[in-house]
A and B are shown apart, each in its own frame.
Chain A
Amino acid sequence: MAFYLLRRVLYAIPIALAVGFVCFMLVQIAPGDPINAIVPPDAPADVVEQVRRDYGLDQPLPVQFGLWLWKVAQGDLGRSLATGRPVWADLSSAIGNTLLLAAVASAIGFTLGCVLGGLAGTFRGSVLDRIAVGAAVAGVSVPHYWLGMVLVVIFSVQLNWLPAMGAGPGGSADWAWDWAHMQYLVLPAVTLSVIPMGIVTRTVRGIVAEIMNQEFVVALRGKGLTRRGVFLHVVKNAAPNTLAVMGLQLGYLMGGSILVETVFSWPGTGLLLNNAIFQRDLPVLQGTILVLAMFFVALNLIVDLMQTALDPRIKRA
C-alpha cells in the first residue's frame, strides 16, 4: 500500500513535466515566430534580436524548454502582451474566482446528483428513476453556454430577478458572502452545475443499484436492520467510487468553465483565456492553461490517493 502510494506520487512528476511540455509547445505550434509572443509586433528589429537572445529563443528547442521550465518553476509565467503586466498577477485573482464558481457549482451538482442518483438506484424502474435518468441525460447533453443564455433570458430579461453578468459591486476583489454579491453567482453556478449533476446522477444510480442487488444487503434486511442502517451500509460502499468521479468533475469544471464564464462575464480564468484568445495574447493563454492543467494533475493524484485510502478492497501492487 505504502509502496503503491509512493509510486503514484512519483508517477505524477513525469506527467506534470509532460503537461508542461504540451503547454510549452502551445506557443511553438502557434502560427508565426514565437518571438511575437514576447515582443509587440511593432518593436524595432534590433530590440527583437536582443529579446531573442535574452529569452534564449536562438537556442535549440530542448534548451528553450529547460529555460522556460526553470522560469515557470520560479513562478515567472512571462508578461502579458496586452497589458504588460506579469501573467501571474492577473491569473492569481482569476483562479480564485473560478475556484469559487466551480466550488459552488459542484456543491449544487453533487448534492442533486447524489440525491437523484441514490433515489433512482434504490427505486429502479419507478417514475422517480425515469425522472432522474431523464434529468441526467439532459444534463450531459445540454450545451451549457446556451443554458446560461436561456437562464439569463428568463431570470434577468423577463423576470428581472437576478443580474445577467459580472461579479457584483466592486468586482471580485471585494467579494463578500452577502446577497449583493451572491446573486451574481446564482445563474453561472446553476448553469455550470448541470454537467456534474448529470454525470454524478448516472454514476451514483449505477453504483447504488449494483450494491442493492448484492446479497449482503438482503442479509442486512433479513436480519431486521432498519432502513437507516441499510442506508449507511450502502453509502459506505458507494462512497469511494462516487468521490473519485466527483473529484474529476471538479477538475473538469475548473477547465470547462470558460464557456460559462464568457456568457456571464464572470472574471475567472475562462474570461481571461477568452480575452487572451481574442488578443492573441499567447503568454496569458499558455500560463492559464498550464496552471489549470497542473491543478487537474494534482486533483487526479489526490482523488487516486483518497480512493485507495477509503477503500481497503483496492489493493494495487
Chain B
Amino acid sequence: MSTTTDPAARLPAATAAEAELAVQARQAPVRSEGYWAGVWKRLRRDPVTIVCASILLLMLLAIVFAPLLAPHDPYQGSMLRRLRPIGTEGHPLGTDELGRDILTRLLYGGRLSWYMGITPVVLAFFIGTFLGVIAGYAGGRVNMAIMRVTDVFYAFPSVLLAVAISGALGAGIGNAILALTLVFIPPIIRVAESVTQGVRNLDFVDAARASGAGAITVVRVHVLGNVLGPIFVYATSLISVSMIIASGLSFLGLGTRPPEPEWGLMLNTLRTAIYVQPWVAVLPGVCIFITSLCFNLLADGLRQAMDVKG
C-alpha cells in the first residue's frame, strides 16, 4: 500500500484523543471469547451508567407509549386554561400559551426530539465509517481526496454549519436531519480513518493480505471487527450534542414547525411566557438536559467498559 498521509497537512483538530484512538487500535487487545462478557460485567458494576441507561430506557418507553400515557390531546388546547401553573388539577405540569397540556406535549414532543437527535448520528455513523475505513485502508490518493474534503467541513464550527445548511434549505424536519448528518460525518470519518490506519499495519492484517485475501475480505473480516468498537463509542458520545443542536434548530424555528410538539420548539413558543409561568416555560429544556446528560454519561461508561481511550 502507499504511504500514510502526511500528518503536517492535517488540521490541529486531529486531537490528542484521536491520536490516542490510533495508538489504542495499534495495541488492539487480544479479544478472547469473553470480550463482550467482560464489557457487560464492567458496565453492570458502574452505577452511573446503569442509572443513566435506566432513565433513558424509561424515557424511551414513555415516548413510545405516549398515546397511552398522555392525559390529553397534544394539539387540542383551550383558551380558557392558558398558562396554568404546575400542579393544576388535571394538568400536573401546567398548560402552555394555547392551553394545551404540558405533560402530554412533553411525552409526544420526546418522539420528535429523540428522532431528530439520534437519526443524524446513526446516518453519520454508517456513512462516516464507510468513508473513513476506505480512506484509512486505501491510503494514498483516495485518502487525500476524502480527508481534504473532511477538512473543509471541519473549517466550520458545528452549530454554524448546521444553522447554515438548514437555514439555506429552509425549515423542516428532513432538512434539519440532513444538516446535522452532514455536521457529524466529518468527525466520524476522522476517527474511523485514524483507527483504521492503526489496524491496517498490524501483523494479522499483513498475514491475511499475504495469504491472498482481497481488500474487501480483509476489511470485512479483519479490519471492521477491530475498528467498529472505537467508532461506535465515539458516535455514542455525539448523540448528546446532536440532541442539543437538533432541539436548538427547532428553537430557532428551523426544525419542526408549530403546532408539532417538540422540546426545542416548545421552549421557543413558551419563551414569551417566562414572565407569567416561568417554571412551566423551562420544563421542555429540563427534558433536553436530562436526555443529553444521560447520553453523555452513558457514552463515558461505554468508553470505559469497552476500554476505548479518548
Contacts and interface: CB of A to CB of B under 8 A. Distances in A.
Interface string B152-181: 110111111001110111100000000000
A289 B164 contact: yes
Interface in B261-297: 264, 267, 271, 274-275, 278-279, 281-282, 284-286, 288-289, 292-293, 295-297
A303 B12 CA distance: 8
A256 interface: yes
B9 interface: yes
A254 B288 contact: no
A90 B23 CA distance: 48
Nearest 6 CB-CB pairings of A with B: A146-B285, A255-B157, A255-B160, A256-B159, A153-B278, A141-B293
Contact of A158 (B12, B153, B168, B278): B278
A255 B154 CA distance: 13
B252 A274 contact: yes
Interface stretch (B37-45, B69-77, B185-193, B243-251): B243-251
Contacts of A14: 148
B13 interface: yes
Interface of A: 4, 7-8, 11, 14-16, 18-19, 22-23, 26-27, 29-31, 137-138, 140-147, 149-150, 152-153, 157-158, 241, 244-245, 248, 251-252, 254-256, 258-259, 262-263, 273-274, 276-278, 280, 282, 285-286, 289, 292-293, 296-297, 300, 303-304, 307, 316-317
27 contacts: A15-B11, A19-B155, A22-B156, A137-B297, A140-B296, A142-B289, A142-B292, A143-B248, A143-B264, A146-B288, A146-B289, A149-B267, A153-B274, A157-B274, A157-B275, A248-B13, A258-B159, A262-B252, A277-B254, A282-B168, A285-B167, A286-B168, A289-B160, A293-B156, A296-B160, A300-B11, A300-B13
Interface residues of B, number: 55
Contacts of B216: none
Interface string B1-28: 0000011110111011000000000000
A285 B252 contact: no
A254 B248 contact: no
Contacts of A157: 274-275, 278
B254 to A, nearest CB: 7
Given A138-B293, A145-B251, A285-B168, A316 B7 contact: yes
Given A256-B160, A259-B251, A30 B169 contact: yes
A29 to B, nearest CB: 6
Contacts of A4: 8
A75 B51 CA distance: 54
A285 to B, nearest CB: 5
B183 to A, nearest CB: 11
Contacts of B295: 141
A252 B245 CA distance: 13
A317 B251 contact: no
Contact of A153 (B157, B158, B281): B281
B307 interface: no
Contacts of A146: 267, 282, 284-286, 288-289
B252 A137 contact: no
Contacts of B159: 252, 255-256, 258-259
Contacts of A152: 274
B168 A26 contact: yes
A75 B297 CA distance: 46
A176 B156 CA distance: 31
A162 B241 CA distance: 29
Contacts of A300: 11-13, 155
B7 A285 contact: no
B164 A26 contact: yes
A150 B285 contact: yes
A143 B244 contact: yes
Contacts of B247: 143
A7 to B, nearest CB: 6
A241 to B, nearest CB: 6
A137 B282 contact: no
A30 B170 contact: yes
B240 interface: yes
A7 B9 CA distance: 8
A8 B9 CA distance: 7
Contacts of B164: 23, 26, 285, 289
B253 interface: yes
A280 B288 CA distance: 28
Contacts of A19: 152, 155-156
Contact of A251 (B151, B157, B293): B157
A252 B167 contact: no
B160 A293 contact: yes
Nearest to A7: B8
A252 B154 CA distance: 11
B181 to A, nearest CB: 14
Contact of A297 (B7, B155, B251, B286): B155
B11 A145 contact: no
Contact of B163 (A147, A258, A296, A316): A258
Contacts of B296: 137, 140-141
A171 B244 CA distance: 30
Given A30-B170, A248-B12, A18 B152 contact: yes
A296 B13 CA distance: 12
